[in-house]
């Protein structure tokens, strides 16, 4: 029976590069996917493209392709990625240049576009999902608007013989669903198969999160050799069932527990995981351990896809200023709290205008949100953190300054002060009719 | 006994919504977890940061519960001022929950990942 082996080469923009090389060289793969596009990344990339029309794609694209193209080309492993960000065509040209440099002339690099719907949503009535108002209310602060496209454009590129398929915004699982549709000839309205393929994509898309990353908890969930954490492979059958595994000898461990955690990761209603291609149903998915690092997956289902596409809209939201400083030794918590009170009063005295602020101690109540902290002993060191939202960068700068000045104007023993001020590009969402976003494929030959 | 001794957790985020899965090490403990880890208890545990409601989805076939905490992330990862804007740490915080004592459970699930 025909099976397709798909590897996951990256789970986020900054992910490690070596596991993808290991997969390309020793994974016996047919396809290798790289999911590298966080929600607001396109908004930042769009700004870069405005400065330079050849840029606006993932800054690690060239390094990743230089690392994997030789093995992928030699073994016929086809690549799919959303590293095109705001400029998939520019990204395809850059990858073609890499291929030529590596002596891989003739390689076909496809760009799949069509996710950029900025002009559509800017000029219509598109209500925001997160809060009252519409996209038009964001006015000049809008930076980008990208629809989550499905697998169709990626499948079309594979059909055209692309060795590398580069796109912008697509539903993350679509990067892994597309090869299955292409290889097995699944119909775009066979909801059960598309649902199962979405399970495969969902398990793979975060790469190391299913092989023991974001999982290890010493004494409870021990994972061997995390430093060499390997990334996953799905061996997928024509009925959409699969086995999750990894390269023999790579670090990490694929267990029933790690698979369950990743299946439910970022899932809201398990009965209705909304994707551009299908409403997937994960509620009856089951795992079975076949051997070490080999877990069988079955039971995914699906129903008709949503009528609309989700759009992420990036906009300039505000500015944020922040400062940090550390205290250690006996009384560290008390000195940290005194420092927070001093900064709070000084920001008020000098009239820094903040619409929102946090005064907290890293080590006590910064990452530990909610819950019950009463059972924990005081730590031997704390780090003061003051962060506030402002309307301008100049105002944001003043927040960090007041933390830094604790050196000579605050409690005893403050050390390691740090400050920053930054612009905040945030993301809101809306829905558009499917007809508003049509994909297009162009092919660059190296 | 704490929830930590019976289950593991993973946290994800979608906009201003936090999602925490609670997964039994032993699927036989699912009914016990379902009885004691209710949406109301999770909402109470995170009362200090929760600005919306908690929905619980049940996955008995996986021995798991999925909690969806609406408006729990101070605006979500792209604009939150929190140190951990994704809320990645919240799953571990939920594992603090005190569970009613069960001698048999304590003996069976003292530690390692048994699945």
Give the CATH number of the domain where residue B15 resides: 3.30.70
CB-based contact B59 A270, cutoff 8 Å: yes
When comparing pLDDT for B115 and A358, which is higher? A358
- Band (pLDDT 50/70/90 cuts) for residue B102 is confident
Does the pLDDT at position B35 exceed 70? yes
d(CA A414, CA A36): 39
pLDDT band at A47 (very low <50, low <70, confident <90, very high): confident
Residue A171 is encoded by which pair of tokens? 């539903």
Residues A276-284 have a mean pLDDT of: 98
Q: Which pLDDT tens digit goes with each residue over A315-353?
A: 999 999 999 999 999 999 999 999 999 999 999 999 999
* B64/chain A closest Cα distance in angstroms: 8
**pLDDT higher than 50, residue A406:** yes
Give yes or no for residue B109 having a pLDDT over 80.
Answer: no
Question: What total of structural domains would you count in chain B?
Answer: 1
CA distance A328 to A52: 47
Task: Place B111 in a pLDDT band, splitting at 50, 70 and 90.
Answer: very low
Domain that holds residue B15: 3-108
Is B84's pLDDT higher than 70?
A: yes
Asked if residue B74 belongs to a domain, the reply is yes
Least confident of A78-87, A121-130, A152-161, A278-287: A121-130
Query: With contacts defined as CB-CB under 8 Å, which chain A residues touch B12?
Result: 264-267
Angstrom distance (rounded) from CA A386 to CA A320: 11
Mutate to test the interface with B, among A369, A376, A423 (most CBs of B within 10 A): A369
- Is B114 inside any structural domain? no
SS3 B17: strand
Note the pLDDT tens digit of each residue in A123-175. Answer: 889 999 999 999 999 999 999 999 999 999 999 999 999 999 999 999 999 99
Q: How far apart are CA A221 and CA B111, in angstroms?
A: 8
pLDDT band at B112 (very low <50, low <70, confident <90, very high): very low
Angle, to 10 degrees, between the axis of helix A191-204 and the axis of helix A174-184?
130
Rounded Cα distance between A434 and A431, Å, is 9
Q: Is A391 on the interface with B (CB under 8 A)?
A: no
Is the Cβ pair A268, B19 closer than 8 Å? yes
For the residues A104-128, what does the mean pLDDT come to?
95
- In this prediction, residue B103 has a pLDDT band, given cuts at 50, 70 and 90, of low
Measured between CA atoms, the residue of chain A closest to residue B4 is: A220
User: In residues, how long is chain A?
Assistant: 446
Q: Which of B15, B21, B81 sits opposite A356 (nearest CB)?
A: B81
What is the pLDDT, as a whole number, of residue A124? 87
Within-domain flag for B71: yes
* pLDDT(A98) > 50: yes
Confirm or reject contact between B68 and chain A (CB < 8 A): yes
Distance CA(A166)–CA(A83), nearest Å, equals 6
Is A388–B49 a contact, with Cβ atoms under 8 angstroms apart?
no
Look-up of token digits 């969930």: A221
User: Considering CB atoms only, which of B15, B49, B79 is closest to A370?
Assistant: B49
Nearest CB among B16, B25, B84 relative to A130 is that of B16
Q: Is B110 an interface residue toward A (CB < 8 Å)?
A: no
Q: Are A245 and A233 in contact (CB under 8 A)?
A: yes
In angstroms, how far apart are the furthest CA atoms of chain A?
74
Could you give the domains of chain A? 3-114+149-306 (no CATH), 314-427 (3.30.70.1150)
The shortest CB-CB distance from A427 to any of B19, B78, B90 is to: B78
Which pLDDT belongs to residue A40?
84
Say what the pLDDT of residue A272 is: 98
Burial of A292 (0-12, 13-18, 19+ CB in 10 A): exposed
B32 in a structural domain? yes
How many Å apart are CA A153 and CA A174, to the nearest integer? 10
ipTM, two decimals: 0.96
- Express each pLDDT in A407-443 by its tens digit: 999 999 999 999 999 999 999 999 999 999 999 999 9
Assess if residue B80 is contained within a domain.
yes
Residue A120, both tokens: 């559509």
Q: Is residue B60 part of a domain?
A: yes
When the pLDDT of each residue in chain A is averaged and rounded to a whole number, the result is 97
* Residue B113 within a domain: no
Chain A environment of B87 (Cβ under 8 Å): 369
Residue B52 sits at the chain A interface (C-beta within 8 Å): no
Confirm whether B89 is domain-assigned: yes
The minimum CA-CA distance between A212 and chain B, rounded to whole Å, is: 12
Residues of A in contact with B23 (CB under 8 A): 257, 260-261, 264
């Amino acid at each position: 029976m025909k099976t397709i082996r798909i590897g996951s080469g990256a789970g986020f923009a900054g992910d490690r590069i070596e596991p993808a090389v290991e997969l390309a060289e020793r994974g016996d793969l047919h396809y290798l996917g790289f999911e590298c596009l966080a929600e607001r990344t396109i908004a930042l990339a769009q700004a870069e493209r405005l400065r330079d029309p050849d840029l606006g794609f993932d800054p690690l694209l060239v390094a990743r392709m230089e690392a994997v193209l030789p093995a992928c080309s030699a073994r016929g492993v086809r690549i799919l990625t959303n590293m095109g960000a705001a400029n998939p065509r520019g990204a395809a040209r850059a990858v073609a240049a890499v291929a030529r440099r590596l002596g891989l002339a003739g390689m076909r690099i496809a760009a799949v576009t069509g996710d950029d719907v900025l002009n559509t949503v800017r000029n219509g009535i598109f209500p925001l999902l997160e809060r009252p108002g519409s996209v038009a209310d964001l006015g000049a602060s809008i930076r980008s608007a990208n629809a989550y496209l499905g697998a169709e454009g990626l499948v079309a590129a594979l059909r055209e013989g692309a060795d590398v398929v580069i796109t912008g915004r697509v539903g993350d699982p679509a990067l892994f669903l597309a090869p299955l549709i292409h290889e097995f000839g699944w119909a775009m309205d066979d909801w059960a198969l598309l649902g199962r393929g979405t399970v495969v994509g969902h398990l793979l898309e975060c790469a190391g999160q299913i092989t023991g990353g974001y999982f290890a908890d010493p004494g409870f969930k021990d994972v061997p050799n995390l430093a060499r954490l390997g990334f996953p492979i799905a061996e997928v059958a024509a009925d959409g069932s699969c086995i999750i595994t990894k390269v023999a000898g790579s670090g990490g461990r694929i267990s029933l527990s790690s698979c369950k955690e990743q299946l439910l990761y970022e899932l809201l209603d398990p009965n209705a995981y909304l994707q551009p291609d299908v409403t997937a149903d994960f509620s009856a998915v089951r795992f079975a351990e076949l051997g070490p690092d080999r877990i069988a997956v079955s039971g995914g289902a699906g129903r008709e896809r949503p009528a609309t596409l989700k759009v992420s809209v990036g906009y300039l939201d505000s500015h944020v200023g922040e400062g940090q400083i550390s205290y250690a030794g006996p009384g560290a918590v008390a000195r940290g709290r005194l420092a927070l009170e001093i900064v709070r009063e000084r920001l008020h005295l000098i009239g820094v205008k903040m619409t929102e602020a946090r005064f907290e101690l890293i080590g006590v109540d910064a990452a530990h949100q909610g819950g019950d902290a009463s059972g924990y002993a005081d730590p031997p060191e704390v780090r003061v953190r003051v962060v506030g939202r402002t309307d301008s960068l100049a105002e944001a700068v003043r927040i960090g300054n007041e933390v830094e000045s604790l050196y000579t104007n605050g409690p005893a023993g403050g050390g390691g002060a740090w400050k920053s001020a930054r612009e905040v590009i945030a993301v809101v969402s809306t829905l558009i009719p499917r007809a508003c976003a049509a994909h297009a494929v162009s092919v660059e030959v190296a | 006994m704490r929830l930590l001794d019976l289950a593991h957790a993973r946290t994800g985020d979608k906009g201003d919504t936090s999602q925490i899965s609670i997964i039994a090490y032993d699927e036989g403990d699912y009914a016990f977890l379902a009885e004691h880890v209710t949406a109301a208890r999770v909402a109470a545990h995170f009362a200090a940061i929760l600005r919306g409601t908690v929905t619980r989805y049940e996955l008995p076939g996986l021995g798991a519960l999925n909690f969806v905490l609406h408006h729990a992330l101070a605006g979500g990862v792209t604009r939150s001022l929190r140190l951990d804007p994704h809320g990645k740490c919240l799953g571990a915080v939920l594992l603090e929950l005190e569970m009613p004592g069960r001698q048999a459970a304590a003996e069976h699930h003292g530690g390692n990942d048994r699945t």
